[in-house]
Each structure stands twice: as structure tokens, then as C-alpha cells.
Chain A
Amino acid sequence: MRPAAQILAALAAGLTFGLGLAMSGMLDPARVRGFLDVAGAWDPSLAFVLAGAVGVSALGYAVARRLRAPAFDHAFAIPTGQRIDRPLVLGAALFGVGWGLAGLCPGPAVAALSTGLLPVLIFVAAMLAGMVLHRRMTRPSGLGPAAPVAPPLSGR
């Protein structure tokens, strides 16, 4: 594995992602809500963002299936789970409510930090708090005698 190359690749990928978001209209919460307003003045343009993104990345996944490893690491780290369970559906449902309320999801919100706008800062701070809350709720606390003997806490 090549750490320096990985860092540069990730920086370039992040920059490309942020450029794409800025170009696509996804940074504009009013547009996002217009896209979700199917029963009202529906603005379908953001479906083209999804179509373009999924189309291109599907090619990448097709190529990846024929490779043994990525260029700068010794293995692919791709989720393998197949189970449709309650956390998946409940989590996605809650996510959608927040997405609809604000018109922001994590990618555009983080990219928009560069604007320095107060509403964006507040949204991202609350989003991080939501992530921390989930982590607190799901990992063993290690407090009290009733807690089972757990392996050392890994970061998740």
C-alpha cells in the first residue's frame, strides 16, 4: 500500500466530487426541495445528477470486479452486506425527513462549509452531533458491572 499516493488520490477525488456538486445544482437547497416536490412544482433536473453519477460509477465498479486490488492498496473495501433490516430502513427514512426539511445532505453540506454561511455551519454541527449520538447509542459503554466483557473499542 502507498500512503502518500492514497492521500493525493483522495484529495483529487474529493475536489472532483466538490466541483461536481457545485456544478450540478445539488448545493442549492431550494433546488433539492424542488426535486423532492413531486406533487408540486417538480424540478426534475437533479435526476440528471444521479443518472450521470450512477452511470459513470457503474463503469468503475464493472472494472473493479475484474481487478484483484486497487492501484494504491492491497484490497478493495466494499460493503458485502445483503440483509434488508430495520436499521437500514429506519435510518434511511429519518435521513429523508432531514433531507426534505433542509434540502441538504452530507456531501453538499460539507462542501458548502467553504461558503462560511451560518445556516450551513449549524446544519453540519447538528449532523455531526447526530453521528455522535448514533455512536453513543450503538457501541457498548463499558460502564457498570452489567456490561459484558467487550473487545477493545474499535472506531465505529
Chain B
Amino acid sequence: MGTYLPSLAGGVLIGLSAVMLLLLNGRIAGVSGLVAGLGRRPDRRWLADLAFVAGLILGPPAFAALSGHWPEMRIVASLPILALAGLLVGFGARLGSGCTSGHGVCGLARLSPRSFVAVLTFLASGVATVFLVRVLFG
């Protein structure tokens, strides 16, 4: 039970963030889209997107300051696997027009059929990948 409540509360905060960005700035809180967008020629929204990313990076230290401990981070994959995974995540998120936040949080919340398909697809391939890694190398 101990892990469910912080997870739910963290999820509520993430939802709140999406609501703030939507009702104040009219934007989707999709991290891959916002990050990739920083590579464009700066327009009137560029600084705000940069501010979101800066806030995101400040989140874990703020959590550490408030709670007195850093969030747990156990990275199990080797560096080459992490590099391959990063490539797939970056390329796939752009090709598929979004990631866990844009499709998962915002897309499901606005009942987008594209996002439902995307979320089911990346959950399925994620589950299959973890299964195969465990069976083959576990």
C-alpha cells in the first residue's frame, strides 16, 4: 500500500501541471514535443517552452528540498543499451507524435482516439520488451 499513495499524489500533480499549461497558456503538456520544439527557430512560444523544461529539471531538487531525500533512481540497463533506448524513445516519440505525457496524460484526458491507439501500442511493446529481456537475459 505504501507506494500507491505517493504514486497517486504524484499523478495528481502531473495532471495539475497539464491543467495549468492548458488553461493558462493553451498548450499540451507533452514533454517530447516541447523538448523537440526547442530545436526550432525561436518563435513567440519558445521561451515559455524553455521555461517549462527548466521547471521540469528543477522538480527533483525541489522534491529533495521539501522531503529531505532524493527520489529513488535504480538504473539497471547498461550504457550501450541506454543509448539505443534513448534513440528509440526520441525517434519513436516524434514519429508517433507524442510520448507518455502528450499521449498518455493529455491525449487520454481529452479522449483522443489517436492517443488511445498510441498508449495501447507503447504499453504493449514496452511489456513485450521487458518480457523478452527477462526471458533472454534475466
Residues of A within 8 A of B (CB): 1, 3, 5-31, 33, 36-40, 43, 45-46, 48-61, 63-64, 67, 69-73, 75-79, 81-84, 87-107, 109-115, 117-120, 122-135, 154-156
Contact = CB atoms under 8 A, between A and B. Distances in A.
Main secondary structure of the interface of B (DSSP, over half): helix
Interface in B23-42: 23-29, 31-32, 35-37, 39-41
Interface residues of B, number: 111
Contacts of A132: 39
Contact of A14 (B56, B83, B99): B56
26 contacts: A3-B47, A19-B63, A20-B10, A21-B56, A21-B60, A45-B7, A48-B4, A49-B14, A52-B9, A52-B10, A54-B15, A56-B12, A60-B109, A71-B23, A72-B24, A82-B113, A88-B97, A90-B95, A92-B117, A92-B119, A98-B92, A99-B100, A101-B77, A102-B77, A107-B100, A130-B93
A28 B86 CA distance: 16
Given A91-B97, A100-B127, A19 B13 contact: yes
A9 B87 contact: no
Contact of B26 (A18, A31, A37, A73): A73
Interface string B75-111: 1110101111111111111111101110111101110
